[in-house]
Structure 1
Amino acid sequence: MDSSATASATFTTYVLKDGDSFLVADAAGDIEGGSDGYFHNDTRLLSRFRLRLGDSQPTLLSSSVSRDNVLFVAHLTNRPLPVLGDNAPGQGVIHLQRERFLRGERMFERLSLVNYGQAPVRLPLTLQFDADFRDMFEVRGSVRPRRGEQLVARVAQEGVQFGYRGLDDALRTSHLAFSRTPDAVDGLSATFDFALAPGVREELYLECGVDGADVPSSQRFRDAAVRARAAMRVRQRRSGLIHSGGPLFDAWMAKSRADLALLTSELETGPYPYAGIPWFSTPFGRDAVITALQTLWLDADIARGVLAFLAHHQAQEESAFLDSAPGKIMHETRKGEMATMRELPFGRYYGGVDTTPLFVALAGAYADRTGDLAFLDRLWPALRAATGWIERVCDANRDGFLDYSRASPTGLSNQGWKDSSDSVFHADGRFPQGPISLVEVQGYAFAAFHAMARLARRRNEVDDALHWHTRAERLREAVEERFWMAESGFYGIAVDGLGDLCRVRASNAGHLLYVGLPRASRAQQVCAQLLTPAFRNGWGLRTLAAGQARFNPMSYHNGSVWPHDTALCAMGMARYGERAGAVRLLRDLFEAAMHFDLRLPELFCGFPRVQGTTPVAYPVACQPQAWAAGCAFMLLQACLGLEVDGWRGEVRVESPQLPPGIDRIAVRRIAVGPARVDVVFQQHGERVNVHLEGRDANTVPLRFIG
């Protein structure tokens, strides 16, 4: 989905989300099919929703979504309407304002018309609509051998009810209701004849949801809007705030924060960031864990909610179809008909090799950030089970690596974060034989073992702590021995089932830096190579170095730029003292964000940056995407060197650097135990000074490492 600043308004799309519902429409607010629609629980409730004045499409003046991501507004006017004869208003005389938001799994819309002409006019306004109840995977392109029964639309004066009885025998409905009786209505359209006196405002209210409700009205619209905005404020207020002297930089941070709030659903287990709109507006394991890691220093509540949800849905049984095994952590969950009918395994799918170690690593990071041992005590059985699965898989591998091979042909062939079918290969382009051990996954397992060792020590489980520490260090040695390519000064992407190294330079190696696995001398070589033009294209880091087999800057994983991947690599560089490199990568992605209306997409093409050009959009990228929004905060943390030690109740800052052109940054309302402080960074010559402000500043220690 492309919403770059350079894109034509015709192709710009706008998104809204609330809970398990989301809406994608064009700049005029119309739903035209394709990937557009109003969706609930992976099912499309509106597949067409067009507005016409007379017999023509109105002219778009402007459209936008409010800063808090709640309200979509489009301003439109009429084209010439010869069909109305001599009584037709002149072009550009009628102003039509379209306002829309989602609340309580329901779409609310207000249409306001004003006649700026000198004479009264009669104007027909027509809504064209349909509901195809397509499963999200059908919208993405899956072809089903058969579908359920599309029911005849039920038409009444107050609205239209669509229905579909699925192959799972579930009745799915979509109710479209109007605040006034149409002058003409059938199962596909409704027309309202407005008598517009000069300067008088006329309104029409609409609602759409899975069930009927009271008649739409001004009062219902206002009340629901107040609740929608209040709920969004609550989500945004959880995290710390970023303020600097740079208006555009602050706007990027604010937009990223608002997008995370938009994508975060309040589940019974706590807040959970859904992966992205339109294709992945559902709980994903890997995406949520990485988003939680990106934002942990600002908002520990997201990490807590992610850990609680994933622990609750931890696998308890073996299933080849679901790729599950006891202790494994969920990769993806879906609620649509195709998942229910097991036409695909994603109802609750466990085919991600990295989600389980990332879950354990997040638990360790959350404990270190908050000191919340009580929560970790409740989570301990799930952590033990997850670590047990990691150990069983490692024990079955000749090198002790955490590997994968899909258990069923319906599952994912590649199960790391680069999960497209062509993303893992040998230097000559051959695809490897499984099972496959990805380099970054070994880093995640290393981090998981160390996290368990730290937590076990906190629990006085000394023998277990020693066991997991030993496993981590043994894995470190094996990675250093088997993955390092001395001739390239880099780590290979994977070891295949025959024990052969895939000698390919990919960004995966940067994730090893993030977890701190490589020895310092090798880490410096990796940092240096990541900052060369082979990887760094001027807008971020490519997923694959230019010149490698299968390199294609327009591919999904083999040469594109993924913002979250760049942020993890930047954080890894900072860990090894390459903070200046992290600053350069933050600048790259900030400047890219300015060309995407400050909303970084899931990915974009990896063409080299040329003066006077913009980053090239990837045509079907999700936007917004949780870990693309979260990358802004991880990049900033990598530059500032700021961490909160929850065990000591202190703020620690090491060798901070500010982004180019920024002389002051205040990170406000950082939680340190029960206290809240502002951490203020100020540039003075070549040095960045740091101090704490706020009501609790005198109660929180600051440890500065220059």
Structure 2
Amino acid sequence: MKQEATTPTLVEQNLETPFYIPADGSSTRPRRTLKSGETFVVFDSHGDIGAVPGGPDGVFHNGTRFLSRFDLSINGEQPLVLGSNVRDDNTILNVDLTNPDMFAGERLLLQKDTLHIRRTIFLREGLVYARFSVRNYASAPTRCELSFDYSSDFADIFEVRGMRRKRRGRVVAKRADDQTVILNYLGLDHAPRKTSIAFDPAPNTITQTRAVYSFNVDPEERRVIFVVIACIEDKAPEQPSFLGGLRSTLRESNALARERTTIETSNEMLNKVLSRSIADLDMLMTPTPQGPYPYAGIPWYSTTFGRDGIITAIAMLWFDPSIARGVLNRLAAFQATRNDPAADAQPGKILHEMRAGEMAALNEIPFGLYYGSVDSTPLFVMLVGLYAERTGDMETVRRLWPHVRAGLAWIDTYGDIDGDGLIEYARATEEGLANQGWKDSQDSIFHADGSMAKGPIALSEVQGYVVEAKRLAAKCAKLLGDAEFAAKLSAEAHATAETVEAKFWCEDIQSYAIAIDGAKAQCKVRSSNAGHLLFCGLARPDRAAVIAKDFLSPRFFSGWGIRTIPVGEALYNPMSYHNGSVWPHDNALIALGLARYGFSHLLEPVFRGMFDAAAYMDLQRLPELFCGFRRVPKQGPTLYPVACSPQAWAAATPLALFQASLGLSFNPWRREIELRNPCLPSFIDHAVVRNLQVGTAKVDLIVRRHADRVSVELGRTDGDVRILTTSFAQS
């Protein structure tokens, strides 16, 4: 998605590429994540931070790691972990710990499993709250010493990812009082950043790097210690009590759950997968001045990304259209208005990513506000049209319309570099991203012989986005009373579709070429990109049928999902980032494309593969991607070492797969919900969708599977709504 390399030979020089994420080995402890607003924390399974050197552990806020170490020891030893669980709604991490056997020479001083330490952690508004409850299960008083070691490097997220800096600021730690330590960092950007670590009650000893509690615990007695970690930039956030903050956090989570659409199926494991996906999306959803925005993923991409936010909103549109409104408002607010080669910006272009942090402020990375994606702009226009179709909210569309017009103008001018009717990309400076589609690895766009494509490059799927964007914008223009502009856009969409059919279809591979290079030569490589043309409805029906069948062949389909690049292509590598791996969001868009063309009978393998993969994953959470190795019976999928988890568009994948299976579409003006060729995979007997909204009406739908067909029942209704089901022949 966002991995980047600028050197010509990734194999030889990947460690020197500026935005490559190295995999230097991983901790033996699984990771746990919590997020609230602009703050997220990566713990290990003990609830520690940085106990095992290296890795992405830390308390992060606005692109900076405010705490790189915070680990607990009992009587000088690492505790044993009994259990480590994140609540289903992602609000709280609970870790149960105990002491190991402790000896003095050959003499056993303290038998294991004597002390129980329950560690409870949650985040709220820039604060990390932790409670440590110590209980003695011995029959006699037990001496206990709890030590907390802490420090911070105040590393920029890009430093954590592996980038090296010649100079950086200075960290100074000081003891503020007998309960609080302050870690101060003055960066080269002269922005003050500090971390406050406050203990309650006061420790027996406290220094700049360690706090120690020493006490006796009577049988069945419980001692409680509270810690609050604050990330401070301009001013210290208010600090409600642990219980007060916890009550508020749980109250807000419960209120959100009551108000939204819900899905419940006959399959309990699928219910867990859906529950985790929705909880992950809630956690990644970040309040911004323009509305809620799904930050892309933890740890590397916890910020605004244009492409990711749009595709996440598309996948969630049937479920919660308010997310699309927040995404559109935020991206419209940051739409480029001038030429800026360093930021790859031109008037009308939609943001690729934005970064806070020291390195962005100093322009050591180009991503403060960065526009180097060729697809964010047509996807933005597309989302406006899809949002209009889903909600009928023409007031929002009218307000966004100048931004739509600016985006369309960018597509036709700056986007079409050589005036051939196709949208291409070529980075403006050597510091920018070399490849600017969603497959943006250095080696992701290549020819059949494995040689790299040279730009300007026209990607197949991006042309599909343009066609669908103009079709949908034409409908909006008509609704807004501009019939002339609507007709112009419709004609342009048709002409581009014809151009794509003529220039991208390749008889040699029976698919659309992944790209056309700067010499106007096809990159004759089969790829999942062609599935995005099905999603956009661009592919000719007979060609769509060929592609759909190929996606379910062994060369493409791993058993867990459709690979980005199939077996047999020159650079196929199931362990690569983009050349043979499986990406859940990619499969989701392909599934929506299969449904669009009526290939409902092909949806089950994709849905089942993703569901089975999630069932094997930690917390039933689909990661950003996983390896494309062939599925082996009684074994789970192979993980990709530096994949983000959770990742917004991966979390939205089960929702999109559900929509594809039911064939859901909406007409808000008529208050109609249509199910086109609805089906349920064989692992679901029935499903209930509650509180589904169309216009101002809400309805519960009950869908039951009867062998190879389904029945749809209307449950509770609030307002006037009609349910339609249609079927059409499958190829």
| TM-score, with structure 2 as normaliser | 0.93
1:290 and 2:311 aligned = yes
Residue identity opposite 2:384 in structure 1: A
CA offset at residue 84 of structure 1?
A: 11
1:523 and 2:544 aligned = yes
Write the distance in 1 (CA, Å) between the matches of 2:471 and 2:165: 46
1:654 and 2:672 aligned = no
Q: Sort the Cα spacing of 1:539 and 1:506 in 2 relative to 1 into closer, same or farther, 3 A.
A: same
Residue identity opposite 1:636 in structure 2: F
- Map of 1:274 onto structure 2: 295
Write the distance in 1 (CA, Å) between the matches of 2:107 and 2:143: 11
Write the distance in 2 (CA, Å) between the matches of 1:478 and 1:675: 42
CA offset at residue 394 of structure 1?
A: 4.9
1:164 to 185, 189, 209: 185
1:347 and 2:365 aligned = no
Write the distance in 1 (CA, Å) between the matches of 2:223 and 2:587: 50
- Map of 2:3 onto structure 1: none
Write the distance in 2 (CA, Å) between the matches of 1:513 and 1:281: 30
- Map of 1:397 onto structure 2: 418
- Map of 2:504 onto structure 1: 483
1:117 to 131, 134, 138: 138
Residue identity opposite 1:176 in structure 2: I
After TM superposition, the structure 1 = structure 2 runs for residues 192-271 of structure 1, keeping only pairs within 5 Å, are: 192-211=213-232, 220-237=241-258, 239-271=260-292
CA offset at residue 575 of structure 1?
A: 0.8
- Map of 1:635 onto structure 2: 657
1:690 and 2:712 aligned = yes
CA offset at residue 240 of structure 1?
A: 1.4
Write the distance in 1 (CA, Å) between the matches of 2:168 and 2:428: 27
Q: Sort the Cα spacing of 1:177 and 1:108 in 2 relative to 1 into closer, same or farther, 3 A.
A: same
CA offset at residue 646 of structure 1?
A: 1.8
SS at match of 1:156: coil
Write the distance in 1 (CA, Å) between the matches of 2:371 and 2:167: 27
Residue identity opposite 1:254 in structure 2: S
2:625 to 603, 621, 644: 603
SS at match of 2:342: coil
Asked if the contact 1:88–1:121 (Cα under 8 Å) also holds between the matched residues in 2, the reply is no
2:398 to 377, 383, 389: 377
Q: Tell which deviates more after alignment, 227-236 or 639-648.
A: 227-236
Write the distance in 2 (CA, Å) between the matches of 1:583 and 1:640: 12
Write the distance in 1 (CA, Å) between the matches of 2:254 and 2:283: 10
Residue identity opposite 2:640 in structure 1: Y
Residue identity opposite 1:15 in structure 2: T
Q: Sort the Cα spacing of 1:291 and 1:236 in 2 relative to 1 into closer, same or farther, 3 A.
A: farther
CA offset at residue 368 of structure 1?
A: 0.2
CA offset at residue 527 of structure 1?
A: 0.5
Asked if the contact 1:129–1:189 (Cα under 8 Å) also holds between the matched residues in 2, the reply is yes
CA offset at residue 586 of structure 1?
A: 0.3
CA offset at residue 629 of structure 1?
A: 0.7
1:505 to 503, 523, 526: 526
Q: Sort the Cα spacing of 1:49 and 1:85 in 2 relative to 1 into closer, same or farther, 3 A.
A: farther
- Map of 2:350 onto structure 1: 329
Q: Percent identity?
A: 44
CA offset at residue 182 of structure 1?
A: 1.6
Write the distance in 2 (CA, Å) between the matches of 1:96 and 1:286: 43
**Structure 2 unaligned residues grouped into runs of 5+:** 1-24
Q: Could you report, residue by residue, the CA deviation over 1:287-317 in whole angstroms, capped at 9, with x for unpaired residues?
A: 0100000010010010011001100111111
After TM superposition, the structure 1 = structure 2 runs for residues 123-142 of structure 1, keeping only pairs within 5 Å, are: 123-142=144-163
- Map of 1:593 onto structure 2: 614
Q: Could you report, residue by residue, the CA deviation over 1:118-141 in whole angstroms, capped at 9, with x for unpaired residues?
A: 111221100000011000000000
CA offset at residue 661 of structure 1?
A: 2.6
- Map of 2:123 onto structure 1: 102
Residue identity opposite 1:479 in structure 2: V
CA offset at residue 243 of structure 1?
A: 1.1
- Map of 2:725 onto structure 1: 704
SS at match of 1:321: helix
CA offset at residue 184 of structure 1?
A: 1.5
1:308 and 2:320 aligned = no
- Map of 1:23 onto structure 2: 41
Asked if the contact 1:45–1:173 (Cα under 8 Å) also holds between the matched residues in 2, the reply is yes
1:14 and 2:32 aligned = yes
After TM superposition, the structure 1 = structure 2 runs for residues 61-80 of structure 1, keeping only pairs within 5 Å, are: 61-80=82-101
Write the distance in 2 (CA, Å) between the matches of 1:104 and 1:505: 46
Q: Sort the Cα spacing of 1:237 and 1:544 in 2 relative to 1 into closer, same or farther, 3 A.
A: farther
After TM superposition, the structure 1 = structure 2 runs for residues 340-489 of structure 1, keeping only pairs within 5 Å, are: 340-489=361-510
CA offset at residue 692 of structure 1?
A: 1.9
Asked if the contact 2:671–2:697 (Cα under 8 Å) also holds between the matched residues in 1, the reply is no
- Map of 1:3 onto structure 2: none
Asked if the contact 1:158–1:215 (Cα under 8 Å) also holds between the matched residues in 2, the reply is no
CA offset at residue 666 of structure 1?
A: 1.2
- Map of 1:665 onto structure 2: 687
Q: Sort the Cα spacing of 1:215 and 1:186 in 2 relative to 1 into closer, same or farther, 3 A.
A: farther
1:625 to 639, 647, 656: 647
1:492 and 2:518 aligned = no
Write the distance in 2 (CA, Å) between the matches of 1:630 and 1:213: 35
CA offset at residue 8 of structure 1?
A: 11
- Map of 1:143 onto structure 2: 164
**Structure 1 unaligned residues grouped into runs of 5+:** 1-6
- Map of 2:70 onto structure 1: 49
SS at match of 1:393: coil
| TM-score, with structure 1 as normaliser | 0.96
Write the distance in 1 (CA, Å) between the matches of 2:682 and 2:260: 24
SS at match of 1:695: strand
Q: Could you report, residue by residue, the CA deviation over 1:492-517 in whole angstroms, capped at 9, with x for unpaired residues?
A: 00001111110000100100000100
1:185 to 206, 210, 226: 206
Q: Could you report, residue by residue, the CA deviation over 1:162-201 in whole angstroms, capped at 9, with x for unpaired residues?
A: 0111111111100000011121221111101122111111
- Map of 1:4 onto structure 2: none
Write the distance in 2 (CA, Å) between the matches of 1:449 and 1:236: 36
Write the distance in 1 (CA, Å) between the matches of 2:349 and 2:106: 68
Q: Could you report, residue by residue, the CA deviation over 1:15-39 in whole angstroms, capped at 9, with x for unpaired residues?
A: 0000000000110001115210010
Write the distance in 1 (CA, Å) between the matches of 2:285 and 2:45: 24
Q: Could you report, residue by residue, the CA deviation over 1:314-340 in whole angstroms, capped at 9, with x for unpaired residues?
A: 111111110011111111111110000
Write the distance in 1 (CA, Å) between the matches of 2:170 and 2:31: 30
Write the distance in 2 (CA, Å) between the matches of 1:159 and 1:242: 46
Write the distance in 1 (CA, Å) between the matches of 2:721 and 2:377: 34
Q: Could you report, residue by residue, the CA deviation over 1:28-67 in whole angstroms, capped at 9, with x for unpaired residues?
A: 0011152100100011111011100011001111110011
CA offset at residue 99 of structure 1?
A: 0.4
- Map of 2:20 onto structure 1: none
Q: Sort the Cα spacing of 1:283 and 1:238 in 2 relative to 1 into closer, same or farther, 3 A.
A: farther
Write the distance in 1 (CA, Å) between the matches of 2:438 and 2:141: 60
Residue identity opposite 2:243 in structure 1: R
Asked if the contact 1:54–1:83 (Cα under 8 Å) also holds between the matched residues in 2, the reply is no
SS at match of 1:210: strand
Residue identity opposite 1:107 in structure 2: V
Write the distance in 2 (CA, Å) between the matches of 1:65 and 1:93: 25
- Map of 2:174 onto structure 1: 153
Residue identity opposite 2:563 in structure 1: R
SS at match of 1:102: strand
Write the distance in 1 (CA, Å) between the matches of 2:341 and 2:473: 28
CA offset at residue 580 of structure 1?
A: 1.4
Asked if the contact 1:9–1:27 (Cα under 8 Å) also holds between the matched residues in 2, the reply is no
Q: Tell which deviates more after alignment, 81-90 or 161-170.
A: 81-90
